[in-house]
Amino acid sequence: MNGAYAERMARLAREAGRAVVALPAPDTQGVAPEAVAAALAADPSITHVGVVYSETGSGIVNDVPAIGAVVRAAGRRMIVDAVSAFGALPFSLSEQPEVDAVVFTSNKCIEGLPGIGFAISPVERVEAARGNAQSWSFDLADVYDTAQRAGWGSFRFTPPVQALHAFGVALDIYLAEGGQPARLARYRENCRILYEGAQQLGLRPYLDWEHQGPIIALFHQPQVPGFDLQRFVEALKRRGVLISNFHNTEAPTMRIGCIGHVGPDEMRFALNALRGALEEMGVRRRDAA
Ligand SMILES: *Cc1c(COP(=O)(O)O)cnc(C)c1O
């Protein structure tokens, strides 16, 4: 667990009646596969490892293939939260047979509207889990059985038709852009421009570049009297830029996304807005970090 979404996954699992063994790790670098191997060796009752691919709370990308390799070697199963990764970061279910499910949504790297959650899972694993969900929403076997009975594309609940239609368009745009490699390259470049430009404004990144994923970058809030994240967010908003008005690191940070239908021009526009907002709040360059 190296961030807020790992905490959320633990909470979801607990509330679904599962016994959760937490493996806390610093939120400034990827989870070490050796630590996962040691935890599995120490506790044979652990059946599954949950891992967050791109930890949107901190900006870290965890090494899912390396963690998967130790899970596979230990004969256990894995569930991957790829919500802010899928579509940009590579993933291969066939190369990671230890994975029972990889989960993502319509609204992050696929750049669709929010409203749909996806789980990709081998059919035999879904069938093996029948009757085991303890949650109707999360019951993949029930989803599968409904599809078999009522036809593929059937929903158990009212489908979000606008979001589904938008998702189809988002996929067309995704393929026209060049799919996963092209999207990853665009996000990496967005992130590099932001990471370097923000440092030129005096902001201190939360992660070292070697641990920085391409999806979201965090910077320490300037340690000056009177700095207030909400006021800063509003100053940015007046300049046409929106960032998160919360942080989920222990240290006070600000979170800036590098994803969405944005490229180098928009990132430079955002840097200008950051400069203006810092000036408006009276933060001088040497005080920003
Ligand atoms: C955004 C996100 C979620 C939650 O997705 P929602 O669409 O906000 O429900 C879960 N995990 C990760 C890693 C995320 O980035």
Same structural domain, 140 and 216: no
| Total domains in the fold of the chain | 2
Same structural domain, 10 and 152: yes
Same structural domain, 136 and 222: no
Q: What is the CATH number of the domain that holds 236?
A: 3.90.1150.10
In a domain, 8, yes or no: yes
Same structural domain, 224 and 128: no
Handedness of CA 234, 236, 239, 240 (dihedral sign): negative
C-alpha pair distances (Å), 244 with each of 87, 193, 216, 247, 256: 22, 19, 11, 7, 7
* CA atoms in the 13 A half-sphere facing the CB of 33: 12
Same structural domain, 128 and 248: no
Rounded CA separation 220/230 (Å): 14
Q: Which residue has the tokens 């679904």?
A: 16
In a domain, 172, yes or no: no
Q: What is the CATH number of the domain that holds 89?
A: 3.40.640.10
Same structural domain, 202 and 100: no
Same structural domain, 150 and 53: yes
Residue 100 Cβ inside 6 Å of ligand 1? The answer reads: no
In a domain, 9, yes or no: yes
Residue 84 Cα to ligand 1 middle (Å)? 7
Residue 209 Cα to ligand 1 middle (Å)? 23
Residue 226 has a CB neighbour count (10 Å cut-off) of 9
For 76, list phi and psi in degrees, rounded to 5: -110, 180
pLDDT of the residue at 137: 87
User: Domain span at residue 277?
Assistant: 179-288
Residue 96 Cβ inside 6 Å of ligand 1? The answer reads: no
Residue 83 Cα to ligand 1 middle (Å)? 5
* CA atoms in the 13 A half-sphere facing the CB of 146: 12
Residue 142 Cα to ligand 1 middle (Å)? 23
Same structural domain, 32 and 154: yes
In a domain, 38, yes or no: yes
pLDDT of the residue at 287: 67
Report residues of the chain scoring pLDDT below 50: none
Characterise 173 by phi-psi region: left (phi > 0), alpha (psi -120 to 50), beta (else). alpha
Same structural domain, 97 and 199: no
Same structural domain, 127 and 219: no
Residue 105 Cβ inside 6 Å of ligand 1? The answer reads: yes
Question: In testing the pocket of ligand 1, which one of 84, 104, 248 has its CB within 8 Å of the most ligand atoms?
Answer: 84
pLDDT of the residue at 230: 97
pLDDT of the residue at 289: 66
